[in-house]
Chains A and B, each alone.
Chain A
Amino acid sequence: GENVEQHPSTLSVQEGDSAVIKCTYSDSASNYFPWYKQELGKGPQLIIDIRSNVGEKKDQRIAVTLNKTAKHFSLHITETQPEDSAVYFCAASDRDRDDKIIFGKGTRLHILP
């Protein structure tokens, strides 16, 4: 089955700087890659996603890139703000086969003042 590796597990960046979180996946059939943000006491919230027919997608300060050949995908957050502090999860799914989403172990992002 699918296995998603995520790193780093913890990331501290100065407010205003950029943050990058990287993930790899094992199943070449995976074709949907969502990113979730989880704040304390809440469930994960979808912040951006990318499909396998797209190499890059951007939404304001957040961007995702996908390299299908290398089975890598990354989350980029620019101009970080205090409210970006949270745990971020990458995930992968084969939407043609089933609806199951497999998550990485998460990255705890700290935005330093």
Chain B
Amino acid sequence: DAGVTQSPTHLIKTRGQQVTLRCSPKSGHDTVSWYQQALGQGPQFIFQYYEEEERQRGNFPDRFSGHQFPNYSSELNVNALLLGDSALYLCASSLPTGGFGYTFGSGTRLTVV
């Protein structure tokens, strides 16, 4: 049973560019959450998708947007990249509210130069 799959694993982008990260949730999960983890810090909540809609959002600017597809997979888009966007981006899948526990992918390491 595949867990959460994220692609790509590593990415280098130039300041001002745009990036798209992808996530396939664990089988049976239909809710996808995205987190940003800076070096040496805990994961910070970006947003969550359920039924193809953004259900809630953390304290991140509008440059961060996402999408969820009918098969529950999800994308995270970041526009106008800043050096400070360099981080590990984690995708987590879960059951709808009432279920417990996220399953995380291994993340995408984004470096902005």
Name A residues whose Cβ lies closer than 8 Å to a Cβ of B: 4, 6, 32, 34, 36, 41-46, 49, 51, 89, 95, 98-106
Contacts and interface: CB of A to CB of B under 8 A. Distances in A.
A36 B56 CA distance: 22
Interface residues of B, number: 29
Given A99-B31, A99-B55, A46 B42 contact: no
Contact of A44 (B31, B43, B48, B50): B43
A6 B43 CA distance: 13
A43 B48 contact: no
Interface of B: 4, 31, 33, 35, 40-45, 48, 50, 55-56, 58, 90, 92, 94, 96-98, 100-107
A100 B58 CA distance: 9
B56 A100 contact: yes
Given A89-B42, A89-B43, A100-B48, A95 B106 contact: no
21 contacts: A4-B42, A6-B42, A34-B100, A34-B102, A41-B106, A43-B92, A43-B107, A44-B43, A44-B90, A45-B104, A49-B101, A89-B42, A95-B100, A98-B56, A99-B96, A99-B97, A101-B33, A101-B102, A103-B35, A104-B42, A105-B42
B9 to A, nearest CB: 9
A106 B55 contact: no
B4 A43 contact: yes
B33 A99 contact: yes
Contacts of A6: 42
Contact of B48 (A45, A51, A99, A104): A99
B42 A106 contact: yes
A100 B106 contact: no
Given A41-B106, A46-B102, A95-B98, A102 B45 contact: yes
Given A100-B48, A101-B102, A43 B97 contact: no
A42 B109 CA distance: 11
A43 B104 contact: yes
Contacts of B45: 100-102
